Amino acid sequence: MKILDCPLNGPRNISEFTYGGEYHPTPEPATSDRRAWAEYVFFHDNQAGVVTEWWMHTATAFWFLVDRNTVTDEVLRTYRVDEAGQCGAGDDG
Amino acid sequence: MPLSLLRHGLRKNRARQHQFSDNPGLKKHYDVVIIGAGGHGLATAYYLATQHGITNVAVLEKSYLGSGNTARNTAVIRSNYLTEEGVSFYRESLKLYKNLSNEFDYNIMYEERGQLTLAHNDAAVRSFRWRAEVNQHLGVRSELVDRQSIAELVPQLNLDEDVRYPIVAGLWHADGATARHDAVAWGYARGACARGVELHQLTEVTGIGMSNGRVDRVRTTRGDISCGCVVQAVAGNSSLVAAMAGIKLPIHSYPLQAMVTQPYKPLLNPHVSSPQLHVYTHQTSRGEFVIGGGSDPYPLYNTRSTLDMKESLAASILELLPFLAQAKILRQWAGTTDMTPDYSPIMGRSPVENYYLDAGWGTWGFKATPISGKCMAELVATGQVPDLIKPFDLDRFYRFQQVNEAGATAASH
């Protein structure tokens, strides 16, 4: 069983977690158009390589970010959302 | 006959039949470049040649033909979907499948064995009734069946009520079928190559050259070629190849794991699936039980297998067919499924004028092989999007007009 290091609960089996999609900054609802919303909701980079993703520890409903290699399945880093700025995850690669 | 076979076998210079074109050098220019020599790409090439007389076509494949998801699917052919758009599309695919062996003069081992989808709760029964009505309205054979009919259709099924999820009803789809997946790709390749299409294996596309918003060059590991247009048919790598043309897709790529048991005497005729148990199975013509399930819980570009998924497949199949408890697993593998938000494909035009998409084939690609090839060929040849695939265009996500087939998968993902 693969282990994921939850920033709140510590290392837990990956079956306790739910994948939540790629991390993208939310567009400003007041100013963005339908097309921008469609892109935000449906479209993904789906890259082969290191990707920043949302994950949730299901039992505690705690959402956090994971830097994961989508080819090797190696988890490089898990961190709280408020730490996102420190790793460059904010730019919508 | 046996004597002539023996003579033929002992002869030194046996006349070998080349099924596909040898790997010649790449020409400088092709009218149509198809990326991906899987079922869909080869079918597109075949119908371009047979229906539209377009033969200056190159099919480029980074590995060998049919080495991707064409080799990795569980060979289920069915049309019992939920939406009018979906049912009509897959229904036409089944019609083409039925005659493929005759058309190719090559046996694809098409067997119409029927498919039984199991309901374990009232919500599933309601959705099956809905699907049966839509299917019948569109001329597809689907009906809701009770436990007694299930016992008659598939006597091997465990209908006990003291299991985790007792079976309450089923959706019987008499049109359900299977075929030899490799032979489908080989048949299309042979037919296309015989008419002048070039198949280039071990030729990986590394870049797409554009000028004035049009594709004009394709870069490969064997040199650059110029092209009139490009069709991408690379299930499992759709986002990565589309990105070379600057196109972003609504796809996440997940592994889907499957396995087969040791062979048994013929004892299970139809295809059986349970969306609630996330499992489906049928017995192949060589006796193995093919067991497939839902996609992995998170995306990955890797066809590795995990013990978790294999355990859950085994637990689920034992609930349906307990006699498999002693079966040994012979092989297991994974394919990469390009999952779209609505579980329908993305076909047709792209934001680049002469770049056509045949993508987003998730877990439903094999059954659509003939009709996808036919529609993509018609689009390339005439410039008109066939009515059958209009609902599946990429733009539907910008219009918020999805074709929701999430409720019609064999195993929920």
> Is the confidence at residue A83, as pLDDT, over 90?
no
Q: How far is B413 from chain A (nearest CA, A)?
A: 13
Could you read off the pLDDT of B132-188 as tens digits, one per residue? 999 999 999 999 999 999 999 999 999 999 999 999 999 999 999 999 999 999 999
Homologous superfamily (CATH) of B21-73+182-250+342-408 is: FAD/NAD(P)-binding domain (3.50.50.60)
- Where does the pLDDT of residue A88 fall: very low under 50, low under 70, confident under 90, or very high at 90 and above? very low
CA B121, CA B337: separation in Å to the nearest integer? 28
Q: What is the pLDDT of residue A85?
A: 67
Domain at B114-176+252-339: CATH architecture = 2-Layer Sandwich (3.30)
Shortest CA distance to B237 belongs to which of B205, B189, B203?
B205
Do B265 and B289 form a contact (C-beta atoms < 8 A)?
A: no
Q: B63 φ, ψ to 5°? A: -120, -130
A72 touches chain B (CB under 8 A): yes
Q: Which residues on chain B are in Cβ contact (under 8 Å) with A18?
A: 297
What is the DSSP secondary structure assignment for residue A30, as one 8-state letter? T
The reply to whether A70 touches chain B by the CB within 8 Å rule is yes
Place of tokens 């297998």: B305
- pLDDT tens for B92-102 read 999 999 999 99
Asked whether the predicted pLDDT for residue A89 surpasses 70, the reply is no
Query: What is the reported pLDDT for A90?
Result: 43
Tell me which residue in A15, A39, A70 faces B299 most closely, judged by beta carbons: A70
Contact B300 A73 (CB under 8 A): yes
A35/B251 Cβ within 8 A: no
Burial of B243 (C-beta count, 10 Å sphere; 0-12/13-18/19+): middle
**pTM of the full predicted structure?**
0.94
Residues B403-413: b if buried by 16+ CB within 10 A, e if exposed = bebebbbbbeb
Enter the tokens of residue B243: 């990105």
Which B residues in the span 273-332 are in contact with A, Cβ-Cβ below 8 Å? Answer: 297-302, 304, 306-308
Give the pLDDT of residue A92.
42
Rounded to 10°, the helix B122-137/B84-104 angle is: 60
Minimum mean pLDDT among A45-49, A61-65, B19-23, B314-318: which range?
A: B19-23
Q: How far apart are CA B226 and CA B333, in angstroms?
A: 37
- Chain centroid to CA A66: 5
Q: Does B395 touch chain A (CB under 8 A)?
A: no
Residue A19, SS3 per DSSP: strand
Domains and CATH numbers, chain A: 3-87 (3.30.2270.10)
Measured between beta carbons, which residues in chain A are less than 8 angstroms from residue B307?
1
Average pLDDT per block of 10 residues along chain B, 413 residues long: 75 73 86 98 98 98 96 96 97 98 96 97 96 98 98 96 96 97 97 96 97 96 97 98 98 97 96 96 96 95 93 96 95 96 97 97 97 98 98 97 86 60
- Selecting from A1, A48, A70 the residue whose C-beta is nearest the C-beta of B308 gives A1
> Which residue shows structure tokens 């998170």?
B298
* Nearest residue in chain B measured CA to CA from A55: B298
Amino acid B250: pLDDT: 98
CB-nearest to A42 from B250, B300, B302 is: B250
C-alpha B110/C-alpha B77 separation (Å) is 9
pLDDT per position as a tens digit, A11-25:
999 999 999 999 998
b/e burial code for range B130-161 (CB count within 10 A of at least 16 → b): ebbebbeeeebebbbbeeeebeebbeebeeee
Residue A93 confidence class, pLDDT cut points 50, 70, 90: very low
Distance, CA of B292 to CA of B406 (rounded, Å): 17
Distance CA B230, CA B90 (A): 24
Residue-wise pLDDT tens digits, B212-230: 999 999 999 999 999 999 9
Q: Read off the tokens for A1.
A: 């069983």
Domain ranges of chain B: 21-73+182-250+342-408, 114-176+252-339
User: Which pLDDT score, from 0 to 100, does residue B3 have?
Assistant: 80
Contacts of B311 (CB under 8 A, 6+ apart): none
Task: Nearest by CB to A46, from B253, B307, B341: name it.
Answer: B253
Contact B127, B120 (CB under 8 A): no
For residue B300, list chain A residues with Cβ-Cβ distance below 8 A. Answer: 70-71, 73
